[in-house]
Every structure is written in structure tokens, then in C-alpha cells.
Chain A
Amino acid sequence: QLVESGGGLVQPGGSLRLSCAASGFSFNTYWMSWVRQAPGKGLEWVANIKQDGRDKRYVDSVKGRFAISRDSASNSLYLQMNNLRAEDTAVYYCARPHCTSTSCSFWFDPWGQGTQVTVSS
């Protein structure tokens, strides 16, 4: 199970930190991801982080502004979002890539319920 929190209303240029609490699986053995969906729009992958936190990937539109991180002690995933723009307004989903004992494929199951981020003055 994945449960996101931390969304809300923030002004342009502001910051927000999203959290995702993972349970029911061995968090340390999975890559983890954030995916977003703007209002009435499609899905957009945002970021991935490897099991040990040393490999991180981002969509170009958030590079330099967003930072993905994780904490194995608390089975938590984070997304620090800085310098937010109106176009970052979306529901943000925490999602788990599909991993076996030997490799990971970056399609997602399960997903959290999402947390709404609204960037507006």
C-alpha cells in the first residue's frame, strides 16, 4: 500500500514536500517513482529513485527544481518541489515499478491514491 501526503496550495515560486508511506512489501528492494496528472490531462512520469537512493532520474521539466529521496528506516518516499510553477499543478501519485529478484521494469503497480498540488497566487 502507498499513501501520499503533503499536497496543498502554494504560490508560484514556493516549495512543497510530498511524502509517500509504503507498507506491505519490502520497500528496500524496489525502485520507487512519482507520476503526476494535471487537471483533466494525461499521466506524466516525474522521477525515479533506485533502491539505495544513488540513482535518480527526472523528466526534463522538473530537473533542477524537484528532488526525489527515500528513507529506508521509515519506508518513506519523498518529493521536494522547489520554485513551483502553475504548470506543476497536478495530482501527484507515488507508484512502485515492477521488480523481480533480478531486475526492474518501469511500469507501475501499485499506485497511491494521489495528493493534490495546486500552484496559484
Chain B
Amino acid sequence: DIQMTQSPSSLSASVGDRVTITCRASQDIKSWVVWYQQKPEKAPKSLIYAASTLQTGVPSRFSGSGSGTDFTLTISSLQPEDFATYYCQQYNSYPLTFGQGTRLEIK
């Protein structure tokens, strides 16, 4: 199985900060990674797919990069509504696997 390791597990930041979350795959997954945002008691929402393609309707302050085994999600200027938990997921092969999540909290 492909393991997806996110770092950090939690992060405190302020409105306006630039934030980067990293996801490392245990083997080459090309660009088959998606990033989700999840708020408490809500379903996840897709942000970035194919490593760097912005999902329709997602603000441009979100961006993704990487290929192979190392991927990043960047939020260029944090807004109050961005405080949430973020997950990466690989869809290169079965079983589909997620990172353990990064909880982004207000400093």
C-alpha cells in the first residue's frame, strides 16, 4: 500500500500568513494526488487535483505543486475561512490512501 505522510500534523498561523503543507508518498505516484479541506462536522471539499490543478470555484490563493513522491499545498495569504484540516490523497493505485491530516489553527 502507498503511505501518504503529511507534515506538519498541526500548524498555528495568522490571517495573512503564507502557509505550506507537505505530503510525501512512499512510492512514485506521478501527479495523482488531490488535496481536500475539511471543516468540523462537514464533508471534505476538494481544492487541488492532479497535484496542481485548481478545482473550479476554489480561490486562487490555494496552489499545489510536486510530482513523484513529494507534494505541497500552499495558501498564499490565509483568510479566516481557511482554518480547517487539510488532507492529501493518492489515486495512483489501490487501495486509495489519505494522509493523516494537517490541522490549521488560528494563532
Chain A interface residues (CB < 8 Å from chain B):
42-45, 48, 57, 59-60, 93, 98, 105-114
Chain B interface residues (CB < 8 Å from chain A):
32, 34, 36, 38, 43-46, 49-50, 55, 87, 89, 91, 94-101
Bound-state CA distance A106–B2 (Å) is: 15
Q: Closest residue of chain A to B49, judged by CB?
A: A107
Q: Closest residue of chain B to A58, judged by CB?
A: B95
Contact between chains at B46 and A109 (CB < 8 Å): yes
Q: Closest residue of chain A to B56, judged by CB?
A: A109
- If A42-B101, A112-B43 touch, whether A105 touches B32 (CB-CB below 8 Å) is yes
Is chain B's binding surface mostly helix, strand, loop or mixed?
A: loop
Contact between chains at B89 and A59 (CB < 8 Å): no
Bound-state CA distance A105–B38 (Å) is: 20
Contact between chains at B49 and A45 (CB < 8 Å): no
Least CB distance from B6 to A in Å reads 9
Known: A107-B34, A109-B55. 10 other contacts (CB 8 A): A42-B99, A43-B36, A43-B98, A45-B98, A59-B95, A105-B49, A105-B91, A108-B46, A111-B43, A111-B44
Least CB distance from B104 to A in Å reads 15
Q: Across chains A and B, which 4 residue pairs bring their CB atoms closest together, nearest first?
A: A107-B34, A111-B43, A45-B96, A106-B91
Bound-state CA distance A113–B45 (Å) is: 11
